[in-house]
Amino acid sequence: MLNVAISAVGACLTQVAIIALVNVKGPIYANANVVGNAISGVLPSISMIIAVVTNKHAQSRSAEGAKYFLTSVFVTLVALTFAEVTAWQEKQVLNDGFESQENSLEPVTTQRRFVSFKHIWQPLKFVESTIILVFSITLAFPIFASFVDSHFVSRKVFVPVIFLVWNLGDLVGRVVCAWKFFVVGNQKLMVLYAVSRIVYIPLFMLCNAFGRNENGSIITDIFYIMLQFMFGFSNGQLFSSAFMLIGHLLYTDDEKKAAGGYTALVINISLLLGSIMSYLLVVEMG
């Protein structure tokens, strides 16, 4: 539990720092950040599928867990390697251009004045409300991903495939926001879009949830897979759009940096609300 707590605190501090930096840098950096988050969601799903498919003995759960863990370690090492290579390249560029740019370098500034959350809320109320709605509704996804069965594929394979499909949809939704056409720029429309996603929940119930639809066909499975992809896509598009708007709606670097901590807090509150709502949904579905 101590390791989990330390990991959570470290991840939170890193997240706050990254959000603060991308708010200052600009929307395209914010998009790059959320795309990286989406990639980190896709990789565990792929790892789980590989672990399940390569496990020749169905009862060897420890073998699956070991393969999943080793795959995760490998991905982490690759990420750290790329981070070191990127840092080295940036250092080389700075060293090469140091003499010509010496006089034009701006001093490094830190946050100079305290910016309250109340001050941040006023310009960001629609954006942060969107984030709350997005994650509160999105956390219904794991319930259906775990309890909707395929009529033709074993549950052991189908569940991680559905997680992969949703995460791919989420990734695509975030990537396309690199093009302005896909960015939801109207704040009120963004909130309405987020609320409308609740329609996915009754649509999921039409599928083979808890094995209730025994007369389904492959069309039912395809419909369910498409639903999960679109559910993930809408999550990625909305979250990326909201994230990219934050820097536009604030004026000073102090505000943008403070918004990093505020947005991280809102995300955590959203996940908490989503967890409570998903629990209530499970109870209601019985």
Going by the DSSP 8-state scheme, the letter that residue 108 receives in this structure is: P
Distance CA 255, CA 270 (A): 22
CA dist., res. 230 & res. 212, Å (int):
23
In a domain? residue 77: no
Please give the pLDDT value at position 110.
Answer: 54
HSE value, Cβ hemisphere, 13 Å, CA-based, for 185: 7
Q: Which long-range contacts (CB under 8 A, 24 or more apart) does 97-104 make?
A: none
> What is the C-alpha to C-alpha distance for residues 197 and 233, in angstroms, rounded to an integer?
11
Helices (H), the chain: 2-25, 27-53, 61-96, 98-101, 117-138, 141-147, 155-175, 187-196, 200-205, 218-249, 253-285
Going by C-beta distance under 8 Å and a sequence separation of 6 or more, which residues neighbour residue 216?
151, 207, 208
- Nearest alpha carbon to residue 209 among 199, 222, 224, 219: 224
Q: Do 225 and 162 contact (CB within 8 A), yes or no?
A: yes
pLDDT at residue 215 in the model: 65
Structural domain includes residue 84: no
Q: What is the pTM of this model?
A: 0.81
Distance CA 34, CA 28 (A): 10
User: What local confidence, expressed as pLDDT, does residue 105 receive?
Assistant: 46
Would you say residue 89 lies in a domain? no
Asked, for residue 100, whether it belongs to a domain, the answer is no
Quote the CA–CA distance of 198 and 138 in Å, as a whole number.
9
The tokens describing 233, both together, are 């896509």
Judge residue 171's burial from the number of C-beta atoms within 10 Å of its C-beta, 0-12 exposed, 13-18 middle, 19 or more buried: buried
Asked if residue 238 belongs to a domain, the reply is yes
Between CA 226 and CA 184 the distance in angstroms is 22
Total of domains in the chain: 1
Q: Is residue 134 part of a domain?
A: yes
Q: Which domain holds residue 216?
A: 2-53+109-285
**Token pair listed for 44:** 């565990």
- The DSSP bridge partners found for residue 209 are 148
Q: What is the pLDDT along the chain (286 residues), one digit of tens a residue?
A: 888 788 778 877 777 778 777 777 778 888 888 888 888 788 777 877 777 777 666 556 676 667 777 777 887 788 789 878 888 887 877 776 655 554 444 554 555 667 777 888 888 889 999 999 999 899 887 888 878 878 777 777 888 889 899 999 999 999 999 898 999 989 999 999 999 999 998 888 888 766 666 666 778 888 889 999 999 999 999 999 998 888 888 888 888 888 888 888 888 888 888 888 888 877 776 6
Are the beta carbons of 198 and 192 closer than 8 angstroms?
Answer: no
59 located within any domain: no
pLDDT confidence of residue 198? 92
Determine how many CB atoms are found less than 10 A away from the CB of residue 207.
Answer: 21
3-state secondary structure at position 209:
strand
112 bridge partner residues: none
